[in-house]
Amino acid sequence: MSRAVGSIAPHGGQLVNRVLRGALREAALERAASFPQVQLTAMAVSDLEMIAVGAFSPLTGFMNKDDYDNVIDNMRLSNGLPWTIPVTLPVDDEVAAGLDEGQEIALLDGDYLMGVMTVAEKYLADKEREAREVYRTTEDAHPGVARLFRQGKWLLGGEVFMLNGPKNAEFPELRHEPAQTRRMFAAQGWRRIVAFQTRNPIHRAHEYIQKTALEIVDGLFLHPLVGETKADDIPADVRIESYRAILRDYYPAERVLLGVFPAAMRYAGPREAIFHAIARKNYGCTHFIVGRDHAGVGNYYGTYDAHHIFDEFDPDELGITPLFFDYTFFCKKCGGVVSAKTCPHSKEDWVFLSGTQVREMLERGEMLPEEFTRPEVSRVLMEGILAKRQPPQSES
């Protein structure tokens, strides 16, 4: 299939499609009934979908040891292509002991069959090294490291096929796959598309960043992550509602596409910024917004580490252009949203609230300052947070 004129090539050149449909799927379902069953972790559920729909092109399965080692040590696949995050299928000792290389297995989420895989390799994870290199820490206070240390120490590598999409997939109407977004961008006549990754509501600062970027491209792909996140992040359904509210009133409909990014959050900071950019290239985006402390958590990464890591790659081999943004905020003296790069004033003039302050205000039923968040968004967030804060049921 030829690509539309002007569209950006997927990472590695080919958009991967490992979703079985029709008669092939029926046949695979029948065969899978006799395969040994392997439980997917929550992250592997996300990863299987991302691989299958081509968001992780050129990956066609969970990584073998050669790719795993290269990604950890060199931020590249074994074929030399940039790739910064291991995409692996962890299993515990007991499951690993029952499996041989070359065997076909069924991949399950609970009792729900999602896919099949041919086990090409079974190998041991090097968790300490993975944590140190990928997350830059071995402290299990880091949510990504904690998850890594919790999971089984064996990894299964091999090609996958998805037979059923994730059960209870949220926001089906926004779950555009890379092949679809590429078609949608082409249909809109957009040649240059900027993607915005987020796991937060859109406050004025984010709106400023998105619109500044949109000034120099044709379309904005607002692509919030809805895979597994930390428990204290704002729930995805509330965020989606807040995105809809702000898009309806403040964005030009013909220049924005809202879609959800079903990936699980790693909180791997700089490495995840590259990973997020490559995935958005697969969705057909040409530009990617990287804010301060992108995909960071706590104080594990320097404010601009996620910008600097792009210098470690040749721009051509990444193939998507990062747009770097500084710390942004409303400045009373400037009379608008500005950034640390463009405002000469001092902190006393800036309207800034921490994530904790935002949460506390909303839980008290207080609107956020209009300079910080548009009232339409405040309202949705407040209602969402209050609705989820029903008093706990008694245990008995």
Residues carrying an active site annotation: 199-200
Q: Are 236 and 170 in contact (CB under 8 A)?
A: yes
Q: From the CB of 226, what's the least distance to Zn ion, in Å?
A: 35
Write out the two tokens for 72.
Answer: 């950890």
Q: Kindly state the smallest distance separating residue 348's Cβ from Zn ion, in Å.
A: 11
Sheet strands side by side (includes 336-339) = 336-339, 328-331, 350-351
Q: What is the nearest approach in angstroms of Zn ion to the Cβ of residue 324? A: 20
Q: Is residue 340 a contact partner of residue 327, using CB atoms and an 8 Å limit? A: yes
Residue closer to Zn ion by CB (options 119, 343) is 343
CB of 346 or CB of 396, closer to Zn ion: 346
- Residues contacting 255, CB < 8 A, separation 6+: 214, 218, 219, 220
**Residue positions counted in the chain:** 396
Residues that bind Zn ion (CB under 5 A): 331, 333-334, 343, 345
Strands 154-162 and 112-118: antiparallel
Shortest distance (Å) from residue 196 CB to Zn ion: 24
Positive or negative: CA dihedral 109, 110, 113, 117: positive
Closest CA to 54 of 178, 164, 185: 178
Could you tell me the smallest distance in angstroms from the CB atom of residue 347 to Zn ion? 10
- Which of residues 167 and 345 has its CB atom nearest to Zn ion in the complex? 345
Min dist. Cβ of residue 207 to Zn ion (A): 17
Class of residue 254 by CB neighbours under 10 A (exposed 0-12, middle 13-18, buried 19+): exposed
Residue 31 near residue 57, CB atoms below 8 Å: no
| Residue 309 vs 343, nearer CB to Zn ion | 343
In the chain the beta strands, taken as DSSP E runs, fall at 37-39, 61-62, 89-91, 104-109, 112-118, 121-124, 154-162, 193-198, 219-224, 256-258, 287-290, 321-324, 328-331, 336-339, 350-351
| Nearer CB in complex with Zn ion: 334/367 | 334
Nearer to Zn ion, 106 or 338 (CB): 338
